[in-house]
Amino acid sequence: MAGVLEKWPNLRVEIIEGVWDRLAEGLLTHEIDLALGTSGMETDGVAAIADCCWTDLSYVVAGNDHPLRGKDKISLAETLELRWALTPAGTGPYLHLKETFAKAGLPMPEIAVESRSVTVLKSLVARCGFVGWMSGPMFDTERKAGLIDALPVEGLKAPRTLMAFRRRQGILPTPATRLLDELRNLAGSLQSFSPEADTAENSSAHHPWR
């Protein structure tokens, strides 16, 4: 985002953060022009931009004072007994978590609290003893602040592919085209995010919950 504004200082950028259905609605109502979401979210009215995509990783996360933080390693099965806070069924994080547990031969964890609010979910994880499911860039700021970090789940590797999306109909406005060009450059240089590395958070126009 900083790169875009340095090249075009008079450009005005509005950022919306939310789960995918909120972003798709924003595209279709012309509230936003570009959205970032996980692959496979195309609809009759929303198209993926195939040459603007990258991969990151998701993790089981907990507050830094969580009881399991003292363990060197835990199994994914152990997390079934924990209090989970997550986005609702049908959202990207929910489906990704369900897929990850299914691949391990485990049922979907029971979700104690569902919320579409990123702020609420982070607060529950950081302050109330819940665990959550987040991509690396989503909790990078809280990790650096010592509030939230990934639990050491043995053998867990959960990649996801993110893409830019636009309306199928119509022409992108010039400012959105400039931002898309910068996103393409960024996507070409991004590596899978690791919470152990001090990597800059992915810049985005409209970042989904993922």
CA atoms within 13 A on the CB side of 99: 12
pLDDT at 201: 36
Whether the pLDDT of residue 197 is over 50: the answer is no
Across the range 86-112, mean pLDDT stands at: 94
pLDDT in tens, 144-164: 999 999 999 999 999 988 899
Extract the tokens encoding 182. 């910068």
What whole-number distance in Å separates Cα of residue 210 and Cα of residue 206?
10
Q: For the chain, how many structural domains are there in total?
A: 1
Across the range 107-123, mean pLDDT stands at: 95
What whole-number distance in Å separates Cα of residue 153 and Cα of residue 71?
10
Whether the pLDDT of residue 49 is over 50: the answer is yes
Q: What is the mean pLDDT of the chain?
A: 86
pLDDT at 189: 67
**Could you tell me if 32 and 26 are in contact, meaning their C-beta atoms sit under 8 angstroms apart?**
yes
Q: What is the pTM of this model?
A: 0.77
Q: Partners of 74 in the beta sheet?
A: 153
Domain ranges, residue 95: 1-210
pLDDT at 38: 84
CATH number, domain with residue 119: 3.40.190.290
- Residue 121: strand, helix, or coil: helix
